[in-house]
Amino acid sequence: MSTNAVRTNPYIPCPVTIEEVTIENDAKDLKTFKLVLENAEDRFDYLPGQFAEVSVLGMGESPFGIASSPTEEDYLLFTVKRTGSVTAELHNSEIGRRIGVRGPLGNSFPWDRMEGRDIVIVSGGFAFTTLRSAITYMIDPASRSRFGAITVLYGARSPGELMYKETLSSWNKGGEIDLTLTVDREPEEEWDGKVGLVPNVLRDLAPSTENAIALVCGPPIMIRFTIPVLQELGFGPEETVLSLENRMKCGIGKCGRCNVGPKYVCVDGPVFTLAELQRLPPEY
Ligand SMILES: Cc1cc2nc3c(=O)[nH]c(=O)nc-3n(C[C@H](O)[C@H](O)[C@H](O)COP(=O)(O)OP(=O)(O)OC[C@H]3O[C@@H](n4cnc5c(N)ncnc54)[C@H](O)[C@@H]3O)c2cc1C
Ligand code: FES
């Protein structure tokens, strides 16, 4: 019988082993963990946009967006920024360490509404994780024909802070995505991307809104300035999709830690359309 920790007991994590660790940025405070489920009978069926709680024995657990795609069947990826106790312990972990994963949790990007449409991805900083999942999923040969053109705008403070750079460039060269990278300030090193903040570069890029839907993930300040630009370009509130990262505890709608008005970000989200958010109190 297959088990899924969420379906049987929502608080019990699946044991996983750290198989690989990749340092993603110059500051070395972003690491991607490749995790493999220990028990073949454990199931972890997810869609891009969902998250999971990753736990370290004796330290606690933290929510992270799932960076791998369901098409990467043999492992899960999480990219983690070192911020406090759980993330520091993860960063100090060696390959082979046994940790836990509880999930998948929350909703996903609106895949049914995205079918047959052009996808515009706008992101800044390390919130790109679930968008890596989304792109990997869409460009998989089995699903590519279900989506139109994929335009990606991704920014960071400096070139060394952009994650998954080589993978993104190879997808761009292969014609699978139309990629624009941007950094906040003119870098000292050689740089053939754009220079400027994500909202400004988005305005210049002016992707077509015709039959398009925009997925936006980034720090709150980027999101605040990006929404008006998307509106200027003509993306309606139903066509603007955002992912929130409110503080969470249980991840399953029990503790009330993450609520915004009547919504629990952990179960009703983390993905919302701008139209849905406009109906909520501005606490997110
Ligand atoms: C749905 C969701 C998806 C997320 N995805 C990712 C991801 O892919 N990669 C990633 O690195 N992080 C992600 N986060 C944020 C991550 O959960 C926190 O950074 C983590 O819980 C910090 O744990 P800690 O024990 O190391 O830090 P703590 O010791 O708990 O706190 C350290 C510092 O981080 C701050 N902090 C804690 N939680 C958050 C939060 N949710 N948002 C902002 N600041 C916080 C605290 O206020 C404190 O200043 C996500 C959060 C949510 C809710
Ligand atoms: S984190 Fe407990 S209700 Fe959402």
**Residues 252-274: tens digit of each pLDDT:** 999 999 989 999 999 999 999 99
67 belongs to a structural domain = yes
Encoding tokens for residue 35?
């995790």
Asked whether residue 274 is assigned to any structural domain, the reply reads no
248 CB within 6 A, ligand 1: yes
- Nearest-CA residue for ligand 1 atom 52 is 245
Best mutation site among 257, 260, 268 for ligand 2, i.e. most ligand atoms within 8 A of its Cβ? 257
Phi, psi (degrees; rounded to nearest 5) at 275: -60, -45
Measuring from each residue's beta carbon to the nearest atom of ligand 2, which residues come in under 6 Å?
A: 248-251, 253-258, 264, 266
Comparison of pLDDT for 190 and 233, the residue scoring more = 233
Pairing relationship of beta strands 30-37 and 76-81 according to DSSP bridges? antiparallel
Residue nearest (by alpha carbon) to ligand 2 atom 3 = 253
> What DSSP string describes 214-244?
EEEES-HHHHHHHHHHHHHHT--GGGEEEE-
Q: How far apart are the first and last CA of the chain?
A: 40
Amino acid 196: pLDDT: 97
Ligand 2 geometric centre to CA of 48 (Å): 20
pLDDT value at residue 281: 82
Of 105, 138, 164, the last residue of a domain is: 105
Q: How confident is the model over 61-83, as a mean pLDDT? A: 97
**10 falls in which pLDDT band (50, 70, 90)?**
confident
In this structure, the answer to whether residues 83 and 119 fall within a common structural domain is no
Residues 150, 202, single domain; the answer is yes
Q: How far is the CA of 259 from the centre of ligand 2 (A)?
A: 7
pLDDT digits (tens, 9 = 90+) for 184-205: 999 988 999 999 999 999 999 9
Segment 126-151, tens digit of pLDDT: 899 999 999 999 999 999 999 999 99
Give the closest residue (by CA) to ligand 1 atom 28. Answer: 84
Which among 105, 122, 144 is the end of a domain? 105
Number of domains comprising the chain: 2
> pLDDT over 90 for what percent of the chain?
87
Q: Give the pLDDT score at 219.
A: 92
Q: Please, what is the average pLDDT of the chain? A: 94
1 pLDDT more than 70: no
pLDDT of residue 63: 97
Best substitution site from 35, 83, 255 to test ligand 1's pocket, by max atoms within 8 Å of Cβ?
Answer: 83
Query: If DSSP codes are grouped into helix, strand and coil, which group holds residue 93?
Result: coil
Ligand 1 touching residue 9 (CB < 6 A)? no
258 Cα nearest atom in ligand 2: 4
pLDDT band at 75 (very low <50, low <70, confident <90, very high): very high
Look up the domain containing 35 and give its range. Answer: 5-105
Mean pLDDT of 31-55: 95
pLDDT > 90? residue 19: yes
CA of 86 to the centre of ligand 1 (A): 9
> What distance in angstroms lies between residue 181's CA and the mean position of ligand 2's atoms?
34
**Residues 85 and 125 occupy one common structural domain:** no
Same domain, 130 and 204: yes
- For range 24-37, the mean pLDDT: 97
Question: pLDDT tens-digit profile of 235-257?
Answer: 999 999 999 988 899 999 999 99
Q: How confident is the model over 77-123, as pLDDT tens digits?
A: 999 999 999 999 999 999 999 999 999 999 999 999 999 999 999 99
Do 34 and 19 touch, CB atoms closer than 8 A? yes
**pLDDT confidence of residue 43:** 84
Closest among 122, 116, 114 to 233, alpha carbons compared: 122
- Ligand 1 touching residue 123 (CB < 6 A): no
* pTM for the whole structure: 0.95
Q: pLDDT band at residue 2, thresholds of 50, 70 and 90?
A: very low
CATH number at residue 15: 2.40.30.10
Same domain flag for 91 and 127 = no
